[in-house]
Amino acid sequence: MNISSIRFSIVKILILLFLGGTFSFLNAQDKLQEEVNSYLKDLPFKSFSIQLPHFQNKSFNIKEYGAVGDGHTMNTVAFQKTINACSKAGGGKVIVPPGLWLTGPIELKSNVNFHVERGALILFSPDHKDYPIIKTPSGGFVLASPIYGFDLENIAITGSGLIDGNGTTWRPLKKDKVNESLWKKFVNSGGVVNDAGNIWYPSEVAMNADKYFVQFRKEKKKITIEDLLPLRDAMRPKMVSLMHCKKVLIDGVTLENSPSFAFNPNFCEDMVIRNVKVNNEYWAQNGDAMDIGSSKNVLLYKCTITAGDDGICMKANVVKGAAEAVLQNVVIADCVVYHAHGGFVTGSNTNGGMHNIYVHNCDFVGTDVGLRFKSSRGRGGLVDNIFIKNIFMKDIVNQTILFNTYYEIKNAEVKAFPVTDRTPIFKNIFIDSIFCDGAREAASVVGLPEMPIQNIQITNSYIRADRGFETDYAKGMTLDNVEIVPKEGPIFNVNQSADFVLNKIKYAEGAPYFMKVSGQETKSIVIKNTDLSNLKTPVNYFGEVDKGSVIIK
């Protein structure tokens, strides 16, 4: 074989290797798109599609830009140099290889796949001076999040590595959430304890944040970045914050020890979150796992969560001039939530509206509440067209299902207020095939006198709990083929509620009575195809309730 033939063969081999790598890269993206499309089929509302980000087959390793993974070298500049170089070249993959990478905030750029390899641990700086105060797209000031991006398109955070937000340097700690040993550890580490002796703060600034901000508002009409610099400790950032981004993929990474919320996208569109793990300690104050805010066309699946606050939470902030719900077209599937204040949560800020959300095939184990709907006057808006199916729960601390329209309001006077655009409205919520083995209460549904919880349907379900199903200001509720097994008390406790249909209800033997009813507003409670023959008094009437309010067929 002559030299020219050898050269031709080498070139041919190189071309084939290049094309093989390119085809493999494209094939992986096609497979992911097929998987995403499969989750968006047969939805209980009008189908929608999600465009995934696509990246050039180019790689940029942070080590080539000066990063050192020894756990004490600051790599903020190296991270940003790598991301900027990738973006400038038209995009590709920024590789974070195995190592312990200490850094300050990382700003993402369009067309960049930020890839954290197995064995890589990104540790964000405990020095709060490393976090600049920046302006958001809405014009407000925030402390730069450990990872953030505004007004971007075609972005991803992928890989199976770990991202640690060093949240213990930011968060307060409530004494009643931890044992004595852990409490002493925090107190002895520095910081300050409030006068009541029940909350530890990392610093005096963090403890007195509200006082400082109120003072600023009184003294100045306009707050500047310079004003806020001394208050960094009081401006806990979200760990991963994305705003106004399109075509987003978050895949495989573990987020842990966040300063506040672990993942908080707002005003994003076409977003997929898959195979993500969130690991926040149970005592992590405001340590929500995933708070999806005011976004459209979102798929979240195969994620595993332990949180200090809400697990998978929907939020909707009002947008001036918005003609429709700001949070819509969300699918959540095949997720596991361990400790959290709620497995699936809406609120508390619902004032922008939520529409078309489908949650299915999820496990909640040991959460404070299973399905949690919360809001209050002044924070509310319309939440409707929510579909929940095949949810499997065990050892729920409080309620399997909770609707609370008095969130964070204590000792509220129960009276009707004028309905406004900030009145919480929960309606048209369809819950099918939920199964719970153990809870303090099967359900608590509490609406407002001026706006009851409306048109809730629960079908084909089983709940074992200490207490039964309670409603207060609810209207148009249907339960069909549902078994509720409380340890004590009635199966249903219905107050100030109307237009119920209870069909094919099963319950444990030994219940004192099937239903307790009370309240002048209670009427048209229909019980049918339910065997009440073993109960001496199926319905107990209390107070001024109409004795004809319950109809047994």
Q: Which CA distances in Å does 549 have to 188, 243, 480, 522, 539?
A: 61, 50, 19, 6, 10
Q: How many residues are listed for the chain in this entry?
A: 553
Give the three-state DSSP class for 377: coil
The answer to whether 380 touches 408, Cβ cutoff 8 Å, is no
Distance CA 349, CA 20 (A): 49
Q: In the prediction, which pLDDT does 14 show? A: 47
Q: In the prediction, which pLDDT does 393 show? A: 98
Q: Provide the token pair at 365.
A: 């184990």
Radius of gyration of the chain (CA): 27
Distance CA 471, CA 546 (A): 17
Q: Provide the token pair at 244.
A: 């106004």
Q: In the prediction, which pLDDT does 1 show? A: 53
Residues in the chain where the model's pLDDT stays below 50: 11, 13-17, 19, 23
Token look-up 């002493």 returns: 184
The answer to whether 400 touches 368, Cβ cutoff 8 Å, is no
Token look-up 């973006």 returns: 87
Q: Parallel, antiparallel, or unpaired: how do β-strands 192-193 and 199-201 relate?
A: antiparallel
Distance CA 170, CA 430 (A): 39
Residue among 370, 376, 381 at smallest CA distance from 343: 370
Q: In the prediction, which pLDDT does 124 show? A: 98
Give the three-state DSSP class for 486: strand
CATH 2.160.20.10 boundaries in the chain? 48-171+238-309
The answer to whether 131 touches 28, Cβ cutoff 8 Å, is no
Q: In the prediction, which pLDDT does 17 show? A: 46
Determine the topology of domain 48-171+238-309 in CATH.
Pectate Lyase C-like (2.160.20)
For residue 427, give the H/E element and its range: strand 425-437
Give the three-state DSSP class for 225: helix
Distance CA 230, CA 506 (A): 61
Q: In the prediction, which pLDDT does 490 show? A: 95
Give the three-state DSSP class for 71: strand
Question: What pTM was estimated for this model as a whole?
Answer: 0.93
For residue 110, whether the previous peptide bond is cis, meaning omega lies within 30 degrees of 0, is no
Q: In the prediction, which pLDDT does 12 show? A: 54
Q: Which CA distances in Å does 185 have to 170, 173, 191, 335?
A: 16, 11, 11, 34
